[in-house]
Amino acid sequence: MRGAGVPCAGCGAGLDALRAGHAAHIGERFVYFCGLACRQRYARQGERSESSTRSARRLVAAALNPASTTGPFEPDLTPPRLSPVPRLSPVPRPVPSPVLPPPGPAEQDALPEADPGELDGLLLFVAAAAGGLSIALVLIGTTRTVTGARALVAAVGALALVGRSLGPRAAGDGPSWLNAGPALGALLAVVAWALKDPLASDAAVLAGLLVLAAAIQTLSQRRVAQKNEAERAWISAALALPGRRVDREDLSLVAAHELRPGEFLRVEAGEIVPADLQILAGNASVLPWLGATSPAPRAEGSLVVAGARLLDGHLEGVASWTGHERAWARVLLDPVASVEKASALARAAHFAALQGSLAAAGLTAVATYATGSGLLSVAMAALAAHGALATAAVAALPTTHLLAGALAAARRGISYRDAEAWDSAGRVAAVIFLARGTLLLGEPEVVEIETFGPHEVASLLGWVTGAESHQTHPIAQAVQRAAKARGVRPDAVRSPVVVPGLGIKSITSAGEGLLVGSRALMLEERVSIAMAEERATELEGLGRTVLLVAVGGRRAGLVALQDGLRPGARASVQHLLDSDIEPILMSGDSRETCETIGRSLDIEHIRPEVLPAERAAEVHRLVESGATLAVFGRPGADGPALGAATVAVALETAGASPCEWHVSLVGDDIRDAALALTLAHRARNDARSALGLAVAPGVLGTLVVAFGLLPPIFAPLAGMVGGALSAVHARLLAARRPPPLTPWDLRPPSL
């Protein structure tokens, strides 16, 4: 009778619970392992996904039982009683709680090591030594005894590779099936020696070379991925910390992986938020994402993502996303859906290493057999072709660039919905800026008030303020501020009617018709603006928004407003231009105003006078033309346009539920919106280059072997050259990337 299938907590391999090599009772459940090595690795690596769970359970248990820790304090384990949710009364003075080991003196060394364990490293060393020795022994001679020894040594190296594939695996390692080629090569060498085949010596050389290449490329891949995996391990450890769950009127510490959407949580000063939250009560100064250095205020109605750290105050809220659905976990920590597993380029790399190597082996075997070669020669050629492409450099090394890009985005507070959204961001060819609130501050100020005819400035401003008195958009607020600053009372206008995107129609207190808005509104109501046209155009040429005013069917004056550029607007446009992404300015302002803004930012493509109600249709038309189009904006007024885009980049939405945008930002820095695309572009290009460098020499080596131009051993040699080129390329790129985030001390909460 078979037991239930469970994953090994150390390496993730499938196990039969009744036949597990090792089991332990941790917390309140049994945990199963392949063997003692997995158990030791699990204990050492509390920052990986399964071991993160164990760390969270250990921290919860220690916090609930502080008597087991050291320190001069008196434990108080009585749970506090709180007033009904959502208003929570303050919790008692927290009991000192255990602290995870703080970072070391150097930032790079402080990050948790992604160490696969001593046994795994030893097996790789044995494999590399055995492969090299098997090749070197050819210098002694090619006698039957020496050939047998070489085949046996190669078999030992192959067994070491197979053994480590079955045991605990390091983060960033290639798939376990990459070791099938060296194992078959060693088996072929042993069989050829046993059958006394004349090619037994060549088979032993090929087997040793396959083993050596697999070991070296695995070590090289691990070295390249080490910093990325260490940073990701620290993020996993930070997101594994438990949180305070409000259960009716009680507080309880709950491991992060056990939190569920909809549950009420409380977070105190100094703690890390365990889940994406919608804040219901409280005020706090927050480092808004993992590794952030600039604090930001958070209060009722705002969002906070998992990994944010409270500097002071407290927050109470409802969890919107938990587990692997949290903002940073989606593309970094999910064992199946993370960016280096589920993105298109990651799948392409695995396809090239698996299906590509099998296809190369089959075609090479057919070509070799067609030349009349024997079965052993055919098998050797096929294994050589397979070994040229089934390498860690092809299967796994390109994905390190994808992970590096996702980590760089996380350091800026950029959250991708999933790996598909990451892929789409990397393919964007053009970006639409919805000007108000993205490139512009969205806080215009009145800079000019001019009248035509007998009207006075105060009267004109009173009419405009009265018409806009019930509006909340930025222009209305600017007019209201200007009237208040000048001591002008709003006119008691009647029956205001908003014409979306054009202006307002109403009646003044004197009973005359009042129009406040754009040229289009005046033309629609058949008001002549010929005398005001030249002045309005002049003001719009300065980048100002002009409101025309008509009273009693005649022009009365105009109000000009100036909106400043947002900090980082020029930098965001430059980021896009540097990545060959075309910026597009879309606004409801006049063409002259948009052209002035566009010239100041080097934006050539503008879409002026597009009303808010028409923007979604305009975006949809551009998408239908075949462009991969992104839109930068804010939910609410920009929602329809964002929904029509291929990639929607929404400011200040990370942690929201539902997560409908492809890219969500924690903050409102428009530079981060541009970086969300440029980082994905750069990572995609780097991964494609790495894949090309790794595959091209192997394909070339396979072709020369298939056509009989060179012996089979040149195919895996070519694969090693490709792996070396790809590794050097990765190291050069890594040297130019910014340093990883600075770790915080990870302190679990306590009751």
Greater confidence, 36 or 362? 362
Give residue 32's pLDDT.
73
Q: Is the confidence at residue 728, as pLDDT, over 50?
A: yes
- In this structure, what token pair is assigned to residue 422? 């990451």
Give residue 19's pLDDT.
65
CATH number of 240-332: 2.70.150.10
Q: Is the confidence at residue 381, as pLDDT, over 90?
A: yes
What is the rounded average pLDDT of the residues 84-102?
35
What is the rounded average pLDDT of the residues 458-463?
91
Element (H, E) at 514: strand 513-517
Give residue 264's pLDDT.
93
Q: Is the confidence at residue 53, as pLDDT, over 60?
A: no
List all residues 6 or more positions away from 371 whose beta carbon is below 8 Å from its beta carbon: 708
Q: Is the confidence at residue 6, as pLDDT, over 80?
A: no
CB 193 within 8 A of CB 204: yes
Cα–Cα distance, 148 to 135 (Å, whole number): 12
Give residue 248's pLDDT.
74
Q: Is the confidence at residue 51, as pLDDT, over 80?
A: no
* Residue 526 phi, psi (nearest 5): 60, 45
CATH number of 445-562: 3.40.1110.10
- Least Cα distance to 647 among 427, 434, 440 occurs for 427
Mean pLDDT of the chain: 83
The domain locations on the chain are 1-71, 240-332, 445-562
Give residue 29's pLDDT.
56
Buried b (16+ CB within 10 A) or exposed e, 422-440: bbbbbebebbbbbbbbbbb
Q: What is the pLDDT of residues 655-684, one digit of tens each?
A: 776 567 999 999 889 999 999 999 999 999
SS3 280: strand
Give residue 473's pLDDT.
83
What is the rounded average pLDDT of the residues 436-446?
85
Give residue 87's pLDDT.
35
Give residue 541's pLDDT.
87
Greater confidence, 166 or 625? 625
Give residue 501's pLDDT.
79
Give residue 347's pLDDT.
92
Give residue 626's pLDDT.
84
Rounded to 5 degrees, what angle do the CA atoms 445, 450, 455 make? 125
Q: Is the confidence at residue 106, as pLDDT, over 70?
A: no
Give residue 69's pLDDT.
35
What is the rounded average pLDDT of the residues 119-143?
86
Q: What is the pLDDT of residues 156-179, one digit of tens each?
A: 999 998 888 776 665 556 677 788
Q: Is the confidence at residue 101, as pLDDT, over 50?
A: no
CB 576 within 8 A of CB 674: yes
List all residues 6 or more positions away from 572 whose beta carbon is below 8 Å from its beta carbon: 439, 670, 671, 673, 674
Half-sphere exposure of 429 (CA within 13 A, CB side): 6
Q: Is the confidence at residue 644, as pLDDT, over 60?
A: yes
pLDDT band at 227 (very low <50, low <70, confident <90, very high): confident
Give residue 62's pLDDT.
41
SS3 654: coil
Q: What is the pLDDT of residues 570-594, one digit of tens each?
A: 999 999 999 999 999 998 888 888 9
Residue 405 burial (CB < 10 Å; 0-12/13-18/19+)?
A: buried
Give residue 313's pLDDT.
92
The strand pair at 494-499 and 503-507 is best described as antiparallel
Please write down the HEC assignment for all residues of 27-38.
CCEEEEECCHHH
CB 383 within 8 A of CB 181: yes
Give residue 117's pLDDT.
55
The full length of the chain comes to: 751
- Return the percentage of the chain with pLDDT > 70, whole number: 84
